[in-house]
Structure 1
């Protein structure tokens, strides 16, 4: 596969902003003509009585700047260039000073101490038009400064892009721990969270439920690769499917009522449909090849999957109740791990190129055009979309041990979010409600 950037990807992202009901200020944030939106994020002012929270204020600004930079949509300006002597409101901001440092957007805030909470008065401005369009009060526990910082970044992101931010969402993944493999959950910056599976053995292929309250994953804890569901609130564990052979790649339907997975109970690996409790509803595929890696479309109408029925692994799609599959990929001889975009118009997947290297690609299901996200950066596999469709998380070997990367969709901004150990099989969770 050659390295191709597809302009159609840009129109998909621009349309996504309109779908969330707000015209974006940043505009088209992907494509050959895009340049990251320059934004100034000033230090938080401390309101009277909040002087003891100087360290928290500094941490909040650091988190917000890092979050915005992570997306690739923003260029966060160096605060050393700021002449920040103005106030918080439109009438007191000296917009020419901010134009002079190259800012197109401006975020300013004040921190207050209100008992058990920290409260931030947040303001966002379009510098060229001298317009204040964002005025928001955001509060959080004094024990969760990181969560408050992510909430502030979400508000700034929404104002400038017209879409919800994903900074409070979570990513599940597998990490190798002392010869075992366990499921972990972390923030999208690689901070917070921790190990969620217990006991020995191999725990693989985690996937969030649509409400984010639980995970399904495959575990060898009883020797057979069985499917389990783990409640993230109380840690309770339920074995969903323990049929002979494989019970892998479980994905819960968008309505939360069904699970698509791979079973090999009849001797061959095929896609099946279970109810949420594990009862068998239907066998969806029947071929001599191996069928695996089911992925639900956001509306629940279709399931993409991988099949070797044509001789090597390729992507296919079928109705969620079965039927004749349609082949989706024709380039390359090894395509796998499909993941739908939140709007259902694109599939991210892993493909092996002519050098036997695995990379991330995105298929436009409307035009059948393919865009390459990674190249010459080791092996890159197992993509999962952010819930707003703007970013991907995937695993990489670019630095040796397998780590997780968060990337924008054209691959121009990629950030490794984990360090140490081996990390794989990321699943990006839904929006926080």
Structure 2
């Protein structure tokens, strides 16, 4: 990944702690308990002294005394262990069931699900691949495919050897803005969607970094951040906010922050800009460790207003204000990771937590109709694009790829989501069509699984 992309990951610094329910000394072996009730023996099964069998397991093992080669019975025992959260024993009985009947794809599927839950991704993908290559694979294509392939048509918008990131739509949806390092540093570009990359126009041409561009609601102006006034040789430079006309002319500076960093600007209306800044944190820490707050300012540089006066030592970022101007959507790491919140512009404390997932939920964008939110999250591993209702309900995963998918934005019609992805090695721009669903084929799922297996591990 291009080193300068790291600055775009300002808010993606929270490392996930993988919490395991038990310790495993070897594949399928639990070293934290001696559950001899689950040991397959010919004549006798002894109850261990630390864990008792459930009533259902007691019944199943009573049958098992006289029918230890019954594959279906082994599967039932495994399912009961899974319900109890005793995964190592569940896996043991799934494998025993498959030794007696290796053709039962329901058991193979359950094994794949269990391995995935245990963090053994490579083995899980191999189990799913076994199913898809079986003559019964067609019956599982939707169930397995929904985990590894997007149900929506995804089109690549830019295709080159550079990095194109942070795309945003024009108000009429005909053009996009994005930043690219194709000239050796970050500059702002525009492109007409219907005409493709041949219509790309370079809007800024400065030796420093121009980033975070988006249009005003009337399409006349473009707001962006830049380090253009910092001529030092520092690796990380604080950004100020600027705006220009939609042709890249008449650049005007909005903020003067004296070393503070500013990012994620967007127009609230034709004159007001909302943004995130660490200007209230005077600690000596590097900027990626500082707390940040949300502000509005007139594009003239006047009337700076801090949202949520009763600040806490957390970082709020990625602000978006709804069309009414009364609600603000943003990301906050007050719980140790980033969740999405919806609050009142006039409020003094944080709003309602909409996501509360185990991962980082970041970079939210609200549909123009105010009904849906799209965002990026690493709740399932790497960063993918999701959609949900504005109350946090009905979360739908949009993308499925090993590369990080970031900075999503709804089209004005609400039927498409623009985003950038590192799936091809460098970052490019893609478009997901929400009104164009596709059902993956067996070959599509096999290809996706083979790709995942090549890079996955059981660690």
TM-score (norm. length: structure 2): 0.52
Measured in 1, the distance between the counterparts of 2:217 and 2:438 equals 27
Counterpart of 1:409?
434
CA RMSD in angstroms, aligned pairs only: 2.8
Counterpart selection for 2:366 from 312, 337, 340: 340
Structure 2: gaps of 5 or more residues: 1-141, 143-151, 155-169, 231-237, 282-290, 440-459
Structure of larger gyration radius: 2
**Per-residue deviation, 1:303:** 1.1
Output one character per residue of 1:301-346: Cα deviation in whole Å (capped at 9) or x when no partner: 2111111111111111112233332111112321100000010111
Counterpart of 1:385?
410
SS of 2:280 mapped into structure 1? coil
Moved more, 273-282 or 199-208: 273-282
Counterpart of 2:200?
193
SS of 2:348 mapped into structure 1? strand
Output one character per residue of 1:12-69: Cα deviation in whole Å (capped at 9) or x when no partner: xxxxxxxxxxxxxxxxxxxx9xxxxxxxxxxxxxxxxxxxxxxxxxxxxxxxxxxxxx
Counterpart selection for 1:352 from 378, 383, 397: 378
Indicate yes or no: 2:261 matched with 1:246: yes
Counterpart of 1:278?
301
Indicate yes or no: 2:201 matched with 1:176: no
Indicate yes or no: 2:307 matched with 1:293: no
SS of 2:254 mapped into structure 1? strand
* Gap change, CA 1:410 and 1:388, over 3 Å in 2: closer
Counterpart of 2:334?
309
SS of 2:181 mapped into structure 1? strand
**Per-residue deviation, 1:353:** 2.9
Higher fraction of helix:
2
Count of residues in correspondence between the two structures: 254
Highest relative contact order (Cα 8 Å, sep 6+), 1 or 2?
A: 2
Counterpart selection for 1:266 from 280, 283, 291: 280
Moved more, 325-334 or 203-212: 325-334
**Per-residue deviation, 1:266:** 1.6
**Are the counterparts in 1 of residues 153 and 436 from structure 2 also a CA contact under 8 Å?**
no
**Per-residue deviation, 1:188:** 2.1
* Gap change, CA 1:358 and 1:282, over 3 Å in 2: same
Measured in 1, the distance between the counterparts of 2:273 and 2:330 equals 14
Indicate yes or no: 2:242 matched with 1:228: yes
Counterpart of 1:429?
none
Measured in 2, the distance between the counterparts of 1:280 and 1:322 equals 18
**Per-residue deviation, 1:249:** 1.0
Measured in 1, the distance between the counterparts of 2:341 and 2:396 equals 18
SS of 2:229 mapped into structure 1? coil
Structure 1: gaps of 5 or more residues: 1-31, 33-70, 74-164, 415-433
Measured in 1, the distance between the counterparts of 2:413 and 2:262 equals 30
Measured in 2, the distance between the counterparts of 1:332 and 1:360 equals 16
**Per-residue deviation, 1:272:** 0.9
**Are the counterparts in 1 of residues 387 and 395 from structure 2 also a CA contact under 8 Å?**
yes
Measured in 2, the distance between the counterparts of 1:354 and 1:301 equals 32
Measured in 1, the distance between the counterparts of 2:246 and 2:301 equals 19
* Gap change, CA 1:72 and 1:378, over 3 Å in 2: closer
Measured in 2, the distance between the counterparts of 1:166 and 1:183 equals 17
For residues 320-335 of structure 1, the aligned pairs below 5 Å read 320-324=345-349, 325-335=351-361
**Are the counterparts in 1 of residues 331 and 361 from structure 2 also a CA contact under 8 Å?**
yes
SS of 2:417 mapped into structure 1? strand
Output one character per residue of 1:230-268: Cα deviation in whole Å (capped at 9) or x when no partner: 112461100011213112111111x32311111222213
Output one character per residue of 1:249-308: Cα deviation in whole Å (capped at 9) or x when no partner: 11111x323111112222131001112312234211322111111012122221111111
Measured in 2, the distance between the counterparts of 1:338 and 1:409 equals 17
**Are the counterparts in 2 of residues 166 and 388 from structure 1 also a CA contact under 8 Å?**
no
SS of 1:368 mapped into structure 2? coil
**Are the counterparts in 2 of residues 300 and 320 from structure 1 also a CA contact under 8 Å?**
yes
SS of 2:357 mapped into structure 1? coil
For residues 106-255 of structure 1, the aligned pairs below 5 Å read 169-189=174-194, 190-191=196-197, 192-223=199-230, 224-233=238-247, 235-244=249-258, 245-253=260-268, 255=269
Higher fraction of strand:
1
Measured in 2, the distance between the counterparts of 1:233 and 1:205 equals 16
**Are the counterparts in 2 of residues 172 and 207 from structure 1 also a CA contact under 8 Å?**
yes
